[in-house]
Structure 1
Amino acid sequence: MSEPNDKFYFDDIEPDAQLLSSETVLDREAMRDFARRWDPLPIHLDEETARKAGLGDITASGSFLLATKNRLLYELGVDMAVIASFGFDEVRFKEPGKPGDVVRLRLTWLEKRLSTSRPDRGIAKHLGELMRADGTVILSLIDTVMIRTRPRA
């Protein structure tokens, strides 16, 4: 694996290898602000509604959790030579994200293959898991990306 801040290429991907982000806290007001603008479901905004729904407290919207995952991805300290993402598969919201949850991203490379038409790039899949400090996964998804190969001398 490359050192932090080095460019990370297709060649550096090893199936089953993992990257682990720093931690961040799900902030109540940030969750509410996001929900007000993008996903104003009452369980994301109002504690009483969330309690009546059996949730105990407001929950983060799925879009907020995806945005948190993306921020943590870019804070890994690895400059990935990704050209594009083909999209997320198997997105699962496994547990509610609650205010005060300490979360981090675990990225596990699943597979890779060279492009058959463009030898300067490859296709790789990774499992992204947003998890609480105790290891409980609250969000998981599979991302398929196009990533450059290491430039040849």
Structure 2
Amino acid sequence: MQYYEDIEVGTTASFGSYEVTAEEIKEFAEKYDPQPFHVDEEAAADSMFGELVASGWHTMAMCMRMVNQNPDPVAAIAGIGADDIRWHKPVTPGLQLELHTEIVDKWPSDRDVSGFITRGIEARDQHGDAVVTYETTALVKTRAYDE
């Protein structure tokens, strides 16, 4: 577990591996983003994408899943926000996603038991191409929080 005191600006990490399936793309989209190119393979073939693609919000959810699979997680209390979200490449069935992170900023909170960190996040496919980039800010525990 990485507490606020342990986290240094510039630290990078790579982790996760997430295989994207057509079934999951359609299931997520039917519930949350029911556009034809997310839910229907024939309609998707006739779209600007030419094939079934994941919703950008589904891509973000997959990234969140990988963040939570980090073998050395940050002692987060709560997410504060996400900024500069950019979807670079459509996410299609069969892609394997991996997460790459970098701590880009940190500052203390007004309490002794927590601080803030901002992390740059990039998800890449198995070809090394970025599919999404963004930054998240989180409130993180100090060791004193658990004392």
Report % sequence identity. 27
* Equivalent in the alignment of 1:56: 50
Pick from 80, 93, 97: which aligns with 2:91?
97
* Equivalent in the alignment of 1:11: 5
User: What is the number of residues matched between the two proteins?
Assistant: 146
Give a deviation string over 1:73-112, Cα, whole Å, max 9, x none. Answer: 0111123211111111111111100000011111111011
Letter in 1 for 2:68: Y
* Equivalent in the alignment of 1:130: 123
* RMSD over aligned Cα atoms: 1.6
Deviation at 1:12, TM superposition (A): 1.5
Extract unaligned runs of 5+ from structure 2.
none
* Equivalent in the alignment of 1:76: 70
Secondary structure at the counterpart of residue 53 of structure 2: coil
TM superposition outliers: structure 1 runs of 4+ over 3 Å: none
Q: TM-score, normalised by structure 1?
A: 0.89
Letter in 2 for 1:122: G
Q: TM-score, normalised by structure 2?
A: 0.92
Deviation at 1:43, TM superposition (A): 0.6
CA distance in 2, matches of 1:46, 1:104: 26
* Equivalent in the alignment of 1:24: 18
